[in-house]
Structure 1
Amino acid sequence: MADARAARAEQLAATGQVDAAITLLAEGAAAGEAEAAMLLAVWHLRGTPVARDLPRARALLRRAVEIGHVDAALMEVALTANGSGGAPDWPAALALLRTAARGDTVAAAQLALVEAMALDAGGAPLAPSPGVPLATTPRIVHFPGFLTAAECAHVAGVAGAMLEPARIVDPATGRWVAHPIRTSDAAAIGPVHEDLVVRAINARIAASSGTTIAQGEALTVLRYRPGQEYRPHFDTIQGTDNQRIATMLLYLNGGFAGGETHFPVPGVTVTPRGGDALLFFNTLPDGRPDPATRHAGLPVRSGAKWLATRWIRTRPLDLWNQIVDPG
């Protein structure tokens, strides 16, 4: 009956009977049906077919967890840590993860990774990772061993099922089209998928770049296969009032040829090595884009290159205005 109620609600919503669908799911949640509570929570997260309401979604997730929905438990952990629908609360999120880990192997694996990290009570690193300067104009810093092999595998695994060919919105038509200069597969790890491992890594990026975690865009994972590349480009965004002031690249694997990160003006070329990271600052002291930051991801010759990118803005931004599908 529970799954049937959720399926019926989906049918009602698809035919425009949204109020009836909401009533049906609310009745199911009240009656102890985890799937009904979970589906209504996801709708409130997505903002379709109902208005986005993060606090309401959090309440519904709590209900689903109480009934025993494992996916709802992991989602609640992520949203508690990053403050979606409330204030960010790392200790509360960690407590929730420990509870979930008692009966779920996925949660247990995440907990093991988090507990292996040197973190303070708020989930931030106890000390920033040391970096090696490669250039001063623009400022480029290399971080050997920024991630462990297990952390790299986790980030790739979170994004793996969401990968799709890189796209961009055509400003003339408003339609999604193939990205003109990046021929990779990509996936953004938005707030719902930002588990505590990813959250802690984002905090590590913030500490090493001298920024706050709220300034970062969603961590985006890219996969380049043979022949794929990211042709010379700038990471800055034309016309924005909240510029991408810095970029952190996380190299997630080895075992491939090519794929170097190349900066023509300072003459810097970095060969990717799994676990290493590269930080560079995209703007001049007056805030204008720095023309010396033009760079490229050179073509992969063999194997597959996995990379995660965190673009960092001048000011905090609301990821819910960019990530519209909680999966």
Structure 2
Amino acid sequence: MTAIETAYRKVSAGQPAEGQAMLEAAGRAGDASALAELAVWHLAGSIVPRDLPAARALLKRAVAIGHVDAALMEIALTANGSGGAPDWPAALALLRQAAPGDPLAAEHLALLNAMALGPDGAPTRLPQSEQLHDHPAIRRFPGFCTPAEAAHIASLVANTLEPATVFDPASGKMIAHPIRASDNAPIGPTVESLVVQAINRRIAAATGSQVSQGEPLTVLRYAPGQQYRPHLDTLPGTPANQRIRTAILYLSQGYRGGETQFPLLGITVAAQGGDLLVFDNVMADGSPEPRSRHAGLPVQAGAKWIATRWIRQAPIDPWTMGATG
């Protein structure tokens, strides 16, 4: 039985401290997998309290021993600032170190090398946009990402997509989402590759926001017959940190139907794979903009893949989804 298996037995027996001690001991003995698993515990915060700096330190030790997956996780956290200050140059240096021994890291580096990036990972140029509506502002950026970039985004969550659900207060259970029929998965901080983070910086430039204002990029897949009925993207009530803007990145080609429709404006967008659609969710006073009500029409054939990034009024902590500062 491995140290990780033994540690989880201790957790199941109500002895998480003993499980943690076992992983720590195995790590001191040179077990890279134990170090990486303990880092995950500190990141998740369910077995032991969340401690992002401790997780970063554990990942670094695991990488030094040769844990490949820990290397990609450390790279992601270094760039997005989990457990420390965001440091794109340091993250890029780590990726370059990992690339010769890891085909996946080498693939990420090749995608980055094809981008026009500044020293902080921000784009040095953007595609031209088309203004579809003024108030609320709706813009489309044709060819915002390449097919290879789109495939990379989809690949990160292809094995973790789940049907959209919502909490039902009457039953206390998660039930099928009443207006959105799709499979979805967020790209959280630990799997947010430098490719995704560069694209998030591109989206920030296109939306006139800071990258820290964006919620985690969320991938949605619609099969034939699935749709997203008319809705607003704003959060209900009067939240302190409202979703002020939406960015939808279209990842796939070859499907039929699935247009994005703004019924109150008479606008229907049939986007191509690689396009980005950006629109405002609030009015000048910060209240929800009713004319931004939109729908993803039913897909008739093929599979529609998109990635949505909701932009908040202020920076957001991706670990708690609360405002920072």
TM-score in same-fold range (> 0.5)? yes
CA distance in 2, matches of 1:288, 1:151: 34
Question: Structure 1 length normalisation: TM-score?
Answer: 0.96
What amino acid maps onto 1:307 in structure 2? I
1:2-13 residue pairs with structure 2 within 5 A?
A: 4-13=2-11
Say whether residues 1:152 and 2:168 are aligned partners: no
Change (3 A) 1:60 1:311: same
CA distance in 2, matches of 1:171, 1:66: 47
**1:264-320 deviation per Cα after TM superposition (whole angstroms, max 9, x unaligned):** 122111112110110000000000000100000000001100010000000111110
CA distance in 2, matches of 1:33, 1:292: 56
CA distance in 2, matches of 1:34, 1:172: 45
Counterpart selection for 1:76 from 49, 74, 77: 74
Counterpart selection for 1:233 from 228, 231, 234: 231
1:202-213 residue pairs with structure 2 within 5 A?
A: 202-213=200-211
**Structure 1 residue 133: deviation in Å?**
0.2
**Structure 1 residue 174: deviation in Å?**
4.6
**Structure 1 residue 173: deviation in Å?**
4.9
**Structure 1 residue 142: deviation in Å?**
0.5
**Structure 1 residue 10: deviation in Å?**
1.0
Contact in 2 for aligned 1:138/1:266 (Cα 8 Å): no
Say whether residues 1:304 and 2:312 are aligned partners: no
Aligned-residue sequence identity (percent) comes to: 58
**1:194-217 deviation per Cα after TM superposition (whole angstroms, max 9, x unaligned):** 110000000000001100000000
Say whether residues 1:142 and 2:140 are aligned partners: yes
What amino acid maps onto 1:43 in structure 2? W
**Structure 1 residue 162: deviation in Å?**
1.1
**1:64-98 deviation per Cα after TM superposition (whole angstroms, max 9, x unaligned):** 10110000000000000000000000000000001
CA distance in 2, matches of 1:229, 1:143: 23
What residue in structure 2 maps to residue 166 of structure 1? 164
Counterpart selection for 2:25 from 24, 27, 51: 27
Counterpart selection for 1:196 from 191, 194, 197: 194
**Structure 1 vs Structure 2 CA RMSD:** 1.2
Could you list the runs of 5+ residues in structure 1 that have no partner in the other structure? none
What residue in structure 1 maps to residue 314 of structure 2? 315
**1:197-251 deviation per Cα after TM superposition (whole angstroms, max 9, x unaligned):** 0000000000011000000001000000000000000000112121110000000
CA distance in 1, matches of 2:209, 2:251: 22
**Structure 1 residue 6: deviation in Å?**
1.2
What residue in structure 1 maps to residue 173 of structure 2? 175
What residue in structure 2 maps to residue 273 of structure 1? 272
What amino acid maps onto 2:286 in structure 1? G
CA distance in 2, matches of 1:292, 1:226: 27
- Where 2:140 maps in the other structure, the secondary structure is strand
- Where 2:180 maps in the other structure, the secondary structure is coil
Could you list the runs of 5+ residues in structure 2 that have no partner in the other structure? none
**Structure 1 residue 170: deviation in Å?**
2.4
CA distance in 1, matches of 2:90, 2:170: 46
**Structure 1 residue 15: deviation in Å?**
1.2
- Where 2:2 maps in the other structure, the secondary structure is helix
Counterpart selection for 1:221 from 207, 219, 222: 219
Counterpart selection for 1:131 from 129, 132, 140: 129
Contact in 2 for aligned 1:215/1:313 (Cα 8 Å): yes
Contact in 2 for aligned 1:137/1:266 (Cα 8 Å): no
Say whether residues 1:291 and 2:287 are aligned partners: no
1:40-59 residue pairs with structure 2 within 5 A?
A: 40-59=38-57
**1:8-51 deviation per Cα after TM superposition (whole angstroms, max 9, x unaligned):** 01111111111111111111111110011011000000002100
**1:116-169 deviation per Cα after TM superposition (whole angstroms, max 9, x unaligned):** 100000000012332110001211001000000100100011111110001122
CA distance in 1, matches of 2:179, 2:166: 10
Contact in 2 for aligned 1:164/1:187 (Cα 8 Å): yes
